[in-house]
């Protein structure tokens, strides 16, 4: 028989001790009225969706009216506990648990939202429900501990960001309240408010998927744009890393992330004077706009636009700069820079390029024209040249010294 559940929605608690908002309590009980999941949390959701022909962001918190759904379960032998919360016009969040001998964790989060809800998603181009999910969203605790995370903890599910905060959670327990010991999330264990003695005031936030502190060198992507006539008008090979500075608790935080060539959809168009390359994904919308100076027969990157969501923010960051002149090259030639190059777009946004080669407007035979190398690459080549020259000089000196020495000793030999 299916476990009959007493799913209790407790009253929303106002947790004054924490920085913001109210947490909602959820409890799942088994047949014998024993609690197996108890949790309190707040969530801020941001959902990226299509509004007309533009991308837009809807932000909303988990409402106090959210309730435990009958699909919740303590799990029987062979199945694991699950908490299902429903709210609004058919929105739901399913929290799947799993455990080992020493720990338990949230194995998967599944979020379902309803684009037909015009209050939440005004002018949505699509209608109906959508489902997104995240595996192993880094919510775990030791056995017989409860999990605690007062700091914001971001879980990304495709185009949806769920920022949990003021979280207390325990699964697999048989008491009636939280255990005595807490396992803190890493955001709480290393509070971002702790002042550092580093000379920079900017702190670093790890990227949401527990990426290493410094992102690795980005993967190289190949991007092409055709003009409406069908001819190739932008050809680029490059690895891109974005570096965005934003304000968090009155501090500057830098967010560095790599463009994954497999995740972005390249797109763009070209006119006589402008050539644009747009790299678009669920989390980023990056536009490179090249300008052609016909009098000088040169092209350059004149304009960059970026829209993205920062890890713990709930709104899109939009950066736009139209007064640039990077990657300047004579037409029919390509610009090349293998070394890391930083293109400063604004005070708060720069792009690090790696192994870059790019050409816009006239691309003969769909191949790169002669490459104009950046100064960084030329300096890079200077070092081997200097070392080589120095070595050759050294060999020459040794040789001369040897010859002189030989002559002297020869001469000395004769006098004896
Ligand atoms: C379940 O336990 C609660 C207290 O934790 C009690 O108020 C409720 O009456 C119990 N329900 C059943 C069906 O035993
Ligand atoms: C989605 O929301 C709309 C409007 O609130 C509602 O009419 C519709 O039934 C909802 N869809 C589902 C699958 O519940
Ligand atoms: C959640 O959103 C509310 C308002 O919508 C805001 O006041 C609060 O700071 C947000 N909390 C986090 C952790 O993002
Ligand atoms: C559970 O413990 C919390 C403090 O950790 C307390 O505020 C709450 O009232 C307790 N709930 C019950 C049902 O005892
Ligand atoms: C660009 O045109 C080439 C042929 O000239 C075609 O093979 C390619 O698919 C086109 N690319 C796009 C993105 O339309
Ligand atoms: C990102 O920008 C910040 C602030 O300008 C800087 O301190 C940091 O070194 C940059 N990171 C990378 C990888 O370029
Ligand atoms: C490219 O930049 C030029 C000059 O700033 C502007 O007129 C044009 O609209 C831009 N194109 C796009 C697609 O942003
Ligand atoms: C082209 O370059 C010349 C010389 O630098 C400058 O005077 C002119 O304004 C430029 N034209 C465009 C369209 O950028
Ligand atoms: C979230 O949005 C609210 C209002 O939209 C704003 O007041 C708050 O500062 C935002 N929080 C973050 C972390 O950006
Ligand atoms: C944060 O960055 C802005 C713009 O780059 C700058 O004006 C401000 O002084 C910085 N604040 C701190 C605390 O470094």
Beta strands 232-248; 220-226: pairing state: antiparallel
Q: Is 222 near ligand 5, meaning CB less than 6 Å away?
A: no
Reported as a single tens digit per residue, the pLDDT across 266-309 is 999 999 999 999 998 878 899 999 999 999 999 999 999 998 87
Question: What integer pLDDT is reported at residue 151 of this predicted model?
Answer: 87
Q: For all residues of the chain together, what is the average pLDDT?
A: 82
Higher local confidence (pLDDT), 30 or 379: 30
Beta bridge partners of 342: 352
> pLDDT (tens digit, 9 = 90+) per residue, 350-372?
999 999 999 999 999 999 999 99
Quote the distance between the C-alpha of residue 240 and its chain's center. 12
Residues of the chain above pLDDT 70, percent: 82
- Using only C-alpha atoms, the chain has a radius of gyration, in whole angstroms, of 30
Task: Decide the pairing of beta strands 326-330 and 349-360.
Answer: unpaired
Please state, in angstroms and as integers, the Cα–Cα distance from residue 258 to each residue in 69, 190, 217, 416, following that order.
Answer: 39, 24, 8, 76
pLDDT value of residue 221: 95
pLDDT at position 332 is: 96
Report d(CA 138, CA 117) in Å as an integer.
Answer: 30
Which atom in ligand 7 lies closest to the alpha carbon of residue 278? 13
Distance CA 235, CA 204 (A): 34
Mean pLDDT in residue range 327-342: 95
The 10s digit of each residue's pLDDT in 38-67 is: 999 999 999 999 988 888 889 999 999 999
Å from CA of 171 to ligand 10 middle: 43
Mention every residue, 6+ apart, whose C-beta is less than 8 A from residue 33.
6
What per-residue confidence (pLDDT) applies to 95?
A: 95
Is the pLDDT reported for residue 213 higher than 70?
no
Is the Cβ–Cβ distance between 158 and 309 less than 8 Å? no
CA nearest 371: which of 326, 410, 337? 337
pTM check: above 0.75: no
Instruction: State the average pLDDT over residues 219-236.
Output: 95
Task: Output the residue whose Cα is nearest ligand 9's atom 1.
Answer: 314
Each domain of the chain, given as residue ranges in start order, spans 1-190, 191-197+207-373
Per DSSP, the three-state class of 398 is: helix
| 229: its two tokens | 């006539």
| Distance (Å, whole) CA 106 – CA 252 | 31
Q: What is the DSSP letter of 360?
A: E
Binding site membership of 314 for ligand 3 (Cβ less than 6 Å): yes
Q: Which of 163, 324, 304 is nearest to 242 (CA)?
A: 304
pLDDT of res. 175: 77
pLDDT at residue 204 in the model = 40
Q: 312 falls in which pLDDT band (50, 70, 90)?
A: low
Q: Chain-centre distance of CA 20, in angstroms?
A: 25
Distance CA 235, CA 245 (A): 29
Give the residue, out of 252, 321, 344, with the most ligand 10 atoms within 8 A of its beta carbon, to mutate for a pocket test.
Answer: 252
pLDDT band at 386 (very low <50, low <70, confident <90, very high): low
> Higher pLDDT residue, 214 or 375?
375
* Residue to mutate (ligand 9; options 43, 313, 316; most atoms within 8 A of CB): 313
Higher-confidence residue of 75 and 141: namely 141
CATH class of 1-190: mainly beta
pLDDT at 131 over 60: yes
- On the question of pLDDT at 198 being above 50, the answer is no
Instruction: State how far the Cα of 255 lies from the Cα of 252, in Å rounded to an integer.
Output: 10
Q: Which atom of ligand 5 is nearest to the CA of 366?
A: 5
- How far does residue 230's CA lie from ligand 5's centre (Å)? 7
| Closest residue by Cα to residue 222 from 269, 264, 261 | 261
Atom 5, ligand 10: residue with shortest CA distance:
347
Q: Which pLDDT belongs to residue 392?
A: 74
Which one is predicted more confidently, 185 or 389?
185
Beta-bridge mates of residue 402: none
**In 3-state terms, what secondary structure has residue 347?**
coil
Ligand nearest to the CA of 177: 4
For residue 178 and ligand 4, the question of a CB distance below 6 A is answered with: yes
Query: Strand pairing of 153-157 and 203-204?
Result: unpaired
Q: What is the pLDDT of residue 4?
A: 34
pLDDT of 210 > 50? The answer is no
Q: Do domains 1-190 and 191-197+207-373 have the same CATH topology?
A: yes
**pLDDT for 223 beyond 80:** yes
* Residue pLDDT, tens place only, 16-25: 223 334 688 9
Q: Which residues pair with 148 in a beta bridge?
A: 168, 184
| The predicted structure's pLDDT at residue 188 | 82
Rounded distance, CA 274 to CA 343, Å? Answer: 19
- More confident call, 282 vs 126: 126
Mean pLDDT for the stretch of residues 59-80 = 89
**Among residues 249, 246, 285, which one has the least CA distance to residue 265?**
285
CA 24 to centroid of ligand 4, rounded, Å: 13
Cα 225 to middle of ligand 5, angstroms:
8
Tokens 């060999």, located at residue: 395
From 177, 180, 181, give the residue whose CB has the most ligand 4 atoms within 8 Å, as the site to mutate: 177
Q: Which ligand is nearest to the CA of 161?
A: 3
Provide the CATH number for the domain formed by 191-197+207-373 in this structure: 2.40.160.110
| H/E element, 222 | strand 220-226
Task: Please identify, by atom number, the ligand 3 atom nearest to the C-alpha of residue 60.
Answer: 5
Is the model more confident about 207 or about 323?
323
Residue located via tokens 């939202």: 113
Please report how many Cα atoms fall inside a 13 Å half-sphere around the Cα of residue 8, on the Cβ side. Answer: 17
Q: 85 and 40 in contact (C-beta within 8 Å)?
A: no
């Amino acid at each position: 028989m299916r476990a009959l559940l007493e799913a209790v929605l407790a009253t929303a608690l106002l947790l004054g001790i924490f920085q913001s908002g109210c947490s909602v309590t959820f409890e799942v009980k088994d047949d014998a009225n024993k609690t197996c999941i108890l949790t309190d949390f707040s969530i801020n959701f941001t959902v990226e969706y299509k509004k007309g022909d533009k991308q837009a962001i809807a932000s909303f918190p988990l409402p106090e009216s959210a309730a435990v759904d009958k699909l919740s379960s303590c799990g029987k032998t062979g199945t694991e506990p699950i908490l299902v919360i429903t709210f609004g016009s058919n929105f739901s969040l399913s929290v799947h648990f799993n455990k080992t001998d020493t720990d338990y964790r949230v194995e998967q989060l599944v979020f379902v939202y309803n684009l037909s809800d015009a209050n939440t998603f005004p002018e949505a181009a699509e209608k109906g429900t959508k489902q997104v999910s995240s595996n192993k969203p880094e919510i775990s605790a030791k056995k017989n501990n409860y999990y605690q995370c007062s700091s914001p903890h971001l879980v990304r599910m495709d185009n949806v960001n769920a920022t949990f905060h003021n979280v207390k959670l325990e699964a697999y327990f048989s008491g009636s309240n939280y255990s005595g010991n807490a396992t803190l999330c890493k955001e709480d264990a290393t509070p971002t408010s702790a002042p550092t003695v580093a000379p920079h005031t900017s702190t670093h936030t790890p990227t949401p998927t527990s990426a290493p502190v410094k992102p690795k060198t980005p993967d190289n992507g190949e991007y092409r744009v055709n003009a409406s006539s069908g001819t190739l008008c932008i050809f680029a090979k490059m690895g891109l890393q974005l570096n965005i500075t934003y304000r968090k608790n009155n501090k500057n935080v830098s967010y560095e992330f790599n463009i994954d060539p497999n995740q972005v959809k390249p797109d763009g168009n070209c006119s006589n004077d402008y050539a644009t390359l747009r790299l678009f994904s669920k989390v980023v919308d990056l536009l490179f706009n090249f300008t052609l100076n016909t009098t000088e027969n040169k092209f350059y990157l004149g304009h960059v636009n970026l829209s993205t969501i920062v890890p713990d923010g709930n709104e899109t960051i939009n950066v736009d700069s139209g007064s640039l002149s990077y990657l300047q090259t004579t037409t029919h030639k390509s610009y090349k820079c293998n070394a890391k190059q930083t293109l400063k777009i604004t005070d708060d946004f720069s792009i690090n390029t790696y192994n870059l080669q790019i050409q816009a407007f006239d691309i003969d035979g769909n191949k790169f024209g002669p490459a104009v190398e950046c100064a960084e690459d030329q300096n890079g080549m200077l070092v081997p040249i200097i070392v080589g020259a120095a070595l050759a000089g050294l060999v020459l000196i040794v040789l001369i010294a040897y010859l002189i020495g030989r002559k002297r000793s020869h001469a000395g030999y004769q006098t004896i």
